[in-house]
């Protein structure tokens, strides 16, 4: 099992991922505002199933890769550092979107399509795949036991954090979006806070000596 301290650090990274603007977040907020909470929750169910898809593929894939190609750890670590710095820049670059800047012109859809779109939005979201592939190896160590078990532990942790945050946002999307719209300085603070955390995580990952 992964030590509690490492798991909490991973949880922080997962939290930053879920609150950073991306296809999943934008779709869920937009759908909640245009079609109501029920539509947002159905879409969220699809997104969660998309996480399960990524977790299964990445867990079994990393188990094979890390044992077969030791150099893969260094490659994935570098990917993780570059990706974190990229997200930090995306958060604060001129013209970047805030957490609650979303589309409000989506047409109503039936439950089956809402679920399917939530699922496909997540499955086809490169941010999720890159996060799993670049972050998991930083926290997985053979000394902690089965690589597959550790991968699943990280995956479930990330999925629970994402579900909890998105669930709260879906329920309060309209009110929170209006609040942020009236207080643009909080949007700027949110962007810089997110960029600072991402940069700090990138620095820690770059300095980590590995397994």
Confidence of residue 72 (pLDDT cuts 50, 70, 90): low
The residue extents of the domains of the chain are: 4-207
User: Over 70: is that where the pLDDT of 184 sits?
Assistant: no
User: What is the residue whose two structure tokens read 């990445």?
Assistant: 58
Find the mean pLDDT for residues 78-95.
73
Confidence of residue 129 (pLDDT cuts 50, 70, 90): confident
Widest CA span in the chain = 53
User: Over 60: is that where the pLDDT of 63 sits?
Assistant: no
Report field, pTM of the whole predicted structure over 0.85: no
Average model confidence (pLDDT) across the chain: 78
For residues 103, 119, 60, 134, the Cα torsion angle rounded to the nearest 10 degrees is 0
Element of type H or E holding 163: helix 147-182
Confidence of residue 68 (pLDDT cuts 50, 70, 90): low
Q: Which of 141, 147, 119 lies closest to 59, judged by CA?
A: 147
Task: Give whole-number Cα distances, 2 to 29, 69, 113, 197, in Å.
Answer: 33, 22, 38, 22
Confidence of residue 73 (pLDDT cuts 50, 70, 90): low
């Amino acid at each position: 099992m992964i030590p509690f301290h490492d798991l909490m650090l991973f949880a922080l990274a997962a939290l930053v991922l879920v609150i950073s603007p991306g296809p999943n977040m934008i779709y869920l907020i937009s759908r909640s505002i245009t079609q109501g909470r029920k539509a947002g929750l159905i879409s969220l169910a699809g997104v969660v199933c998309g996480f399960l898809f990524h977790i299964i593929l990445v867990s079994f894939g990393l188990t094979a890769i890390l044992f077969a190609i030791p150099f893969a750890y260094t490659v994935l670590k570098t990917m993780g550092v570059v990706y974190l710095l990229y997200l930090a820049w995306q958060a604060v670059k001129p013209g970047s979107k805030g957490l609650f800047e979303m589309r409000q012109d989506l047409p109503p859809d039936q439950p089956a399509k809402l679920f399917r779109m939530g699922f496909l939005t997540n499955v086809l979201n490169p941010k999720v795949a890159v996060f799993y592939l670049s972050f998991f190896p930083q926290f997985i160590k053979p000394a902690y036991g089965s690589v597959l078990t550790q991968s699943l532990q990280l995956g479930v942790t990330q999925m629970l954090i994402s579900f909890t945050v998105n669930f709260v946002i879906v329920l309060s999307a309209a009110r929170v979006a209006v609040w942020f719209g009236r207080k643009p300085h909080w949007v700027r603070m949110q962007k810089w806070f997110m960029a600072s955390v991402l940069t700090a995580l990138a620095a820690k990952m770059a300095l980590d000596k590995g397994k």
